[in-house]
Amino acid sequence: MIFEDVEILDTQDLSFECDCSKEKMGEALATLHTKDLEDMINEDHGCEITCQFCNAHYQFSEDELKEILKKRYAFMRPPEMENLTIDFDGCELNKNSRVELRLERLGKGDGVK
């Protein structure tokens, strides 16, 4: 024993449990840049993620990655903006032009004209 004058009053079993899941790993994938996801789809045709805590491996097929990207697009572009068009007629744009576009969700009953 390291300390001879120490009295052990109680013991308790310890265990490690990771709460990772494929769903959580999919949510992590959804945070990647669009180009990175598209590269995984078009070049790698899928991906594998390894949990850094428990070393569990999760495979994502090309179709699963497409679904993650699709859900992300749906979140970023709500249905009410599906047919939104912006008319730049009369504007002179060149490679140095900067266009800022601010889109906000409107309350129920409000509309874009």
Compute the chain's Rg from CA coordinates: 25
Comparing 8-12, 55-59, 105-109, which segment has the lowest mean pLDDT? 105-109
Which residue has better confidence, 73 or 75? 73
In tens, the pLDDT along 58-68 reads 999 999 999 99
pTM, entire model: 0.55
- 57 and 98 Cβ atoms separated by less than 8 Å: no
